[in-house]
Amino acid sequence: MSKGGGFVDSGHADIELNALKNNVPIMHKDGILFLVKVIKEYQVKSILELGSGIGYSAIQMAKDNPEVRITTIEKDIERYEQAVKYINAFNLQSQIKCINIDAYDYQDQNRYDMIFIDAAKAQYQGLFDKYRRYLTNNGFVIVDNLLFHGLVDNPEKTHNRRTKDLIRKIRNFREGILANSDYDVNYYPNIGDGVAMIKIR
């Protein structure tokens, strides 16, 4: 498998088919392209990803940026094992360190230029509160799925109580960061499933 650009080589197709078959969510391609652009624009060298899934986004962030180092956390053992398999298949193990642990249990002495939160959506506020201290001075947090398939802005489209509770938590997090004067927030509802870039003032 190649470390080259693009989404259509056999390696990426394999990951995407695996995700589809096993109902593992992966980031929209325009969201991935946004991450790659931000990494280059801000000369990001270190990334902490919360929620590896099966390694798709970490691989995309690393493969065209040989100076980037990524620590990615995944609590589900099966997804973690799949992520390690794909990271090794793309020969990216020197760039990507995958750890099987719950994000709330993880402790680290390092600081990161970018933290990418793509873990349990209901836990966004708690994860943000914990991990913002892991940023470098000019670092920032990126959060995906702030639209949650359009349901956050259209909660009447679901009658499932658990889903309603989830979208309420996502909406409260999104509205909270946008209203907080301690943060500089760029919110992109038309990228991915709703992406925000958050800098701590």
Rounded to an integer, the average pLDDT of 171-182 is 96
Assign 21 a pLDDT band (cuts: 50, 70, 90).
low
| Average confidence score pLDDT of the chain | 89
Is the separation of the CB atoms in 116 and 142 below 8 Å? yes
> Residue 16: its pLDDT value, please?
67
What is the per-residue burial (b if ≥16 Cβ within 10 Å, else e) of 6-17? Answer: eeeeebbeebbe
Per-residue pLDDT reduced to its tens digit, 80-89: 999 999 999 9
Reported as a single tens digit per residue, the pLDDT across 95-142 is: 999 999 999 999 999 999 999 998 888 899 999 999 999 999 999 999
- Per-residue pLDDT of 40-92, as tens digits, reads 999 999 999 999 988 999 999 999 899 999 999 999 999 999 999 999 999 99
The pTM of the full predicted model, rounded to 2 decimals, is 0.88
